[in-house]
Amino acid sequence: MADSTAALSIRGVTKEFATPEGGVVRALDDVSLEIDEGSFTVLLGPSGCGKTTLLRSIAGLETPDAGEIRLRGERIDDEPVWKRRVNTVFQSYALFPHMTVAQNIAFGLEMDRVPKAEIAKAVESSLAMVRLEGLGGRRPSQLSGGQQQRVALARALAKKPEVLLLDEPLSALDLKLRRGMQMELKRLQRETSITFVLVTHDQEEAMAMADTVAVFDSGRIAQVGEPRDVYLRPRTRFVADFIGEANVLPATFLSDRADVDALGVLEADLLSGTEGLTSGQPGFVAMRPENILWSRDEQGQARVVDVTFVGGDLRIDVLVGAHPCAIRTSSHVAEPPRVGEALRLEFPAGSVRWVTD
């Protein structure tokens, strides 16, 4: 049975698409995910990783080939889209151009046969919720992108869905507006305590908003967890590199140490994530740029290829053997390294993360 606290329970969902060339693409490959009631869950991944297909499967706009989707314990994957108590904020907003803002918001309520007087009240309160009071009589074409975005939100939230699905809702907004809307979405989620499931390819956006982030990699979920946990303890090389920046080097596990390509053997106390590994197992180690300590050393393993000031940080690009690596350090360092210098690299205890392919 589904967990009693799960708003959405996704089990073994698989979906394939035929490509125009006659091939088959597996957009979702046996995906399972539990989404907690009242949580803000972000499905994160590069384009084409299946995250939007999963969102559309929950909404009912795609039909999975296999697996089941439960909403508060009830199976919904065989229900038509218009019966599901979930609503979507579309990437394109999909506002009805021939209707006013108020008519757009009222549309979903009319479908539920809500009495007229109640609809009028709900439209007003929805507009107030997204801070668009007084714009009910406008047409979508008379609004800015940010305002259209708010109307799309108000239209979906007015139905009081059990789960609100958001498909890359901020991707069309400029950076400054996007930051503001991220805070706004968090506020709306807290105030309504509706479960939000948001799809994005922007890891910073995911970090800023999510209670739980599910990282997608080619149709599968690579890792699920709190953003901080996923950042600090990535399990795969893909997750390490996609969430924040990581230097990933091939390595072999030797009883409790790691033999890293071009770096040499790293002692057990530096490593994390090695539980359950067997000696001789190949894999990768991932190191965050800010977790690399450097010092000048003629015999050092790293050679500086570039030094860049990034505000308060100094970014040092080095080559370790043939592997490019990045180091972040404070700009306040007395004597920054110069291109061509050799550096010795050291790592704080537990900061070298063992990851699989």
Partner 1 sequence: MARARGKAGQGSVWAAVPGLVYLVALVLVPLIIIVIFSFLSRAKLGVGVKWEFSTQAYADLLFSESLAGGRSFDPTYLQIILNSFVFALVTAGVTLALSIPIALWIATRPAERRTALIFLVTIPFWTSLLIRTYAFVIILNDNGPINGTLGWLGLIGEPIPMLYTPFATVTGLVYTFLPFMILPIYASAERFDFRLAEAAYDLGAGKWTVLRRIVLPSIRPGVIAGMLLVFVPALGSFLAPELLGGGKTSMIANVIAAQFGASRNWPLGAALSVLLLIITMLVLVGFAVTAKRVSRTGGSNTWEAML
Minimum CB distance to partner 1, residue 240 (Å): 35
At residue 103, φ and ψ (nearest 5 deg) are -65, -35
Cβ proximity to partner 1: between 101 and 285 the closer is: 101
CB-count exposure of residue 6 (10 Å: 0-12, 13-18, 19+): buried
Question: CA 201, 206, 209, 210: dihedral to nearest 10 degrees?
Answer: 120
Cβ proximity to partner 1: between 63 and 279 the closer is: 63
Minimum CB distance to partner 1, residue 284 (Å): 40
Minimum CB distance to partner 1, residue 222 (Å): 28
Cβ proximity to partner 1: between 94 and 254 the closer is: 94
> Strand, helix or coil at 38?
coil
Cβ proximity to partner 1: between 140 and 244 the closer is: 140
Minimum CB distance to partner 1, residue 109 (Å): 9
Minimum CB distance to partner 1, residue 348 (Å): 49
Cβ proximity to partner 1: between 152 and 316 the closer is: 152
In a 13 Å sphere around the CA of 227, the CA atoms on its Cβ side amount to 17
Q: List residues binding partner 1 (CB under 8 A).
A: 20, 59-61, 80-83, 87-88, 90, 92, 94-98, 107-108, 111-112, 139, 141, 155-156, 159
CA nearest 159: which of 106, 201, 207?
106
Question: CA 223, 225, 229, 233: dihedral to nearest 10 degrees?
Answer: -20
Minimum CB distance to partner 1, residue 161 (Å): 10
CB-count exposure of residue 262 (10 Å: 0-12, 13-18, 19+): middle
At residue 293, φ and ψ (nearest 5 deg) are -100, 140
Cβ proximity to partner 1: between 106 and 170 the closer is: 106
- Sort residue 111 into left (φ over 0), alpha (ψ -120 to 50) or beta: alpha
